[in-house]
Chains A and B, each alone.
Chain A
Amino acid sequence: MSTAELELMSHLMRRAGFGATRAELDDLTARGYENVVEDLLNPGEPNNLPDDIIRRFHADQHELRQLDSAGGYWVYRMATTDNPLEEKITLFWHGLFATGYSKLNQARTHLNQIRMFRRFGLGSFRDLLVELSKDPAMIIWLDNDNNHKTAINENYGRELLELFSMGIGNYTEQDVKECARAFTGWTLKNVEYMSQRAMKDSIWPYGRISWHFEYRDEDHDYGEKTFLGETGNFNGEDVIDIISRQDATARFVCTRLFQYFAADEVEDDAGPVIEHMMRSYFDSGYEIRSVLRTLFNSDYFKSDTARFARVKGPVELVMGAVRQAGICREPVLNISEVASQAFYMGQGLLQPPTVEGWHEGVEWIDSGALVERVNFVARALGDIDNPGVQSMIDHLAAMDGGVLSAEEFVDGCLDLLGPIHVPDDTRATLVEIASKDGDLDLSSRTPGDESEQRVGNMLRLAASTRAYQMA
């Protein structure tokens, strides 16, 4: 296989997943690009770290009531799944339909929403919006349980249009009110009982149960509504049908998918790709899977323009380094701390700052966040005890009898981290440091010796480059 094929596969896996190790890349490249795209779009068994193993080590991950337990639980899933796109698209919907723990105070209900994104995230956008409107975490987050026939609460109706489907400027204030009316009666089940349970937290061993959806016929406004120019006795599903067939919706969703998977900035040359994605959206009956197939197989996506055209989001950055370093593949004590790292960088799982989600692209970067980002990847990839780093050492040791010049050493490290490409002056800096101790001789290495340590030190610096910050 060629270097070009390997680099293209590395690009696809950074976007459709959380990057890949060299061994994985070799296998995937052999399978062929379009086959891999189909595998990603049609996930099979995830084979992630199973719950019974997790719970044996983390008592707090039985109930998953707490934020840090839930974050750690999701990290295990992202670190070990065989279906990286399933997690990546779930993270996308979590950012777009941003729901925050701060108001829910119940991580289990929140994780149920995440599981729903996993199940519906690559399917029909229309179905996804219906599920979203019935999702208890969303109902609490945007107060649809306070949206009554006699007194509407506009919060969900507004955000459904503004932030979840069409974008501002494509509807009127009147549409917001009509939309809210259509979702009256879409509420929570057993509120009185649940409130009692919440107040009596000590009812062990049963603990809390999750919130559930209920449609209350008597609290639904069955009156006539005029929504986006259409008139009828619309219920929530009718409103979603109307939303789903809007051009504005197709453009909004495809543009957001483009920015998440292809490039932060939508330049002029992105126009035709987004148009093509929109056609797939309509042709397939709003299937996200089809939209992504169009994107991943497009010349644009495969071109140099799209390579490293995105600033890694914090979760992407953390999980990319975790998977490359081969850590968190089995239970580890500090798993919640791994989730917290992404929070320090500005993206806490289950805690988007607002319903708007996160500001992405270069807005991930400020001096505080950059310090956290560099520190995390430097620590993960500079530690020769990590299995993934050991594999990289093995890989270097297998080159040229294990004796490498400073240039070969540096190029080898940059290759194994991506491949990533650094400016000439960055490479010169790394070569200068590598040269201080002469050739790297791994031929007679013993675990943890000076030569292995040198590789760790070089990987730490190579991972600290600007290039590694990009996906």
Chain B
Amino acid sequence: MATRKQDPSLVVIQLSGGNDYLNTIVPYNDGEYYDYRPTVNIDQDSVLPIDDNYGFNSNMAPIKELYDQGKVAVINGIGYPNPNRSHFRSMDIWHTAEPNDVATEGWLGRATRDIDPTGENVLTAVNFGRGLPRALGVRGVPVASVGNLETYGLFPDLKDSTLRKYALEAFAKMYGGERGKDPVMDFLGQTGMDALKGADLLRTALDKYSSNVEYAADPIAQSLNDVAKVMFADLGTRIFYTQQGSYDTHSGELTTHAKLIGEVSTGVADFYDDLKEHERENDTVIVMFSEFGRRIKDNGSGTDHGSGGVAFVIGGSVKGGMYGEYPSLKAENQLEGDLQFNNDFRSTYSTVLDKWLHLDAAPIVNGQFEQFDFIANGTNGSNGK
């Protein structure tokens, strides 16, 4: 049985732009799929079969391999009621776990606050990429956002070490100073202090890291390599966030989608190998999601925005398999030409929050949702019970 050594950590990979569910987990035995997708389809012979009806996109071999080892839960038909087909609104919904009202607090920002209520560790959550996604944004909750791990820090080009020391001291006084007169200046001050603390810690991650895994050069592989570096430095980081895109394949879908889904699959498998090499595979769960799936019928070269989609939960402590139901493609079962969702994304969030991170899920996801069983027994529990 898998046993945990570290506090459980969560790695979220956002597939931005709306990943085409039908061409990711392919219903290769369903004639309607090929009827609706005369051009933008995955050839039956190339699909990597899961069973007699469904299979992985042929570019997902590395993830298929993990699936065969029982490490991948495929969440079929994930979505939310009254699906919104605007990227921004739908992504906002996934980020804030609030489908009805426009909310501002991110679900992972809230989780970060629950893990570290006093904001003591500025690296409890780390985003890899440019700009902070709303999922991590809760005012007052520090989250480090790392574009480039190599050069992270203030005044890096001041060669004179005394001068740099003075500059850093002055910066700390200026940003740690006056509060309470203006909320934006307060926010800038707090962010500056967080940046100082975070930079000092992150600098250590690069020096500590060594691995036999060679990651590819594409952006998502590089981001996952940075995740590994920070994770293995034991800085107390519990939530890691990164993204890949764009999956907005209105045209030229087959080429673009193959490249993107192939890169993320290879990146995830390499990252998993790295976790194993550092004996972290049972302490880490990866969640991979997109803001929506795409239209059932193709438009000749791509697909338009749809609704029901697919998410993946991957890790040594995950009970692999197919979860949820694969939505029917029959005309009478469609929702305005899209796949119907059959499980709310907040069920998956709740499962991860409750069974994996051991947080009270309801206030984070704005309600009670039925949970899945994709976290293996015996690996959950903050004491490794």
Contact = CB atoms under 8 A, between A and B. Distances in A.
B195 A424 contact: no
A423 B177 contact: yes
Contacts of B1: none
B86 interface: yes
B174 interface: yes
A362 B104 CA distance: 13
B122 A367 contact: yes
B86 A457 contact: no
B31 interface: no
Nearest to A310: B184
A367 B143 contact: yes
A433 B163 CA distance: 11
Given A146-B302, A151-B299, A368 B155 contact: no
Among B155, B174, B246, B250, max chain A CB count under 10 A is at: B174
A5 interface: no
Given A366-B145, A374-B154, A356 B163 contact: no
Interface string A284-327: 00000000000000000000000000010000000000000000
A153 B198 contact: no
Given A162-B86, A429-B170, A146 B178 contact: no
A293 to B, nearest CB: 28
A210 interface: no
A429 B173 contact: yes
A20 B123 CA distance: 39
Nearest to B186: A466
Contacts of A470: 184
A354 to B, nearest CB: 6
A379 B173 contact: no
Interface residues of A, number: 53
A466 B86 contact: no
Contacts of B143: 366-367
A261 interface: no
A424 B131 CA distance: 31
A168 B171 CA distance: 42
A367 B191 contact: yes
A145 B301 CA distance: 11
A457 B158 CA distance: 10
Interface string B182-221: 0011011101101100110000000000000000000000
A430 B130 contact: no
Nearest to A429: B173
A359 B130 CA distance: 12
A466 B299 contact: no
A371 B170 contact: no
B251 A464 contact: no
Contact of A143 (B174, B184, B250): B250
A465 B174 contact: yes
Given A168-B89, A354-B87, A426-B178, A366 B167 contact: no
A295 B185 CA distance: 25
Closest 6 pairs (CB-CB, A-B): A368-B145, A423-B178, A367-B195, A425-B177, A366-B132, A143-B250
Interface of A: 102-103, 143, 145-146, 151, 153-155, 158, 162, 168, 264, 311, 343-346, 353-356, 359, 362-363, 365-372, 374-375, 378-379, 422-426, 429-430, 433, 457, 460-461, 464-466, 469-470
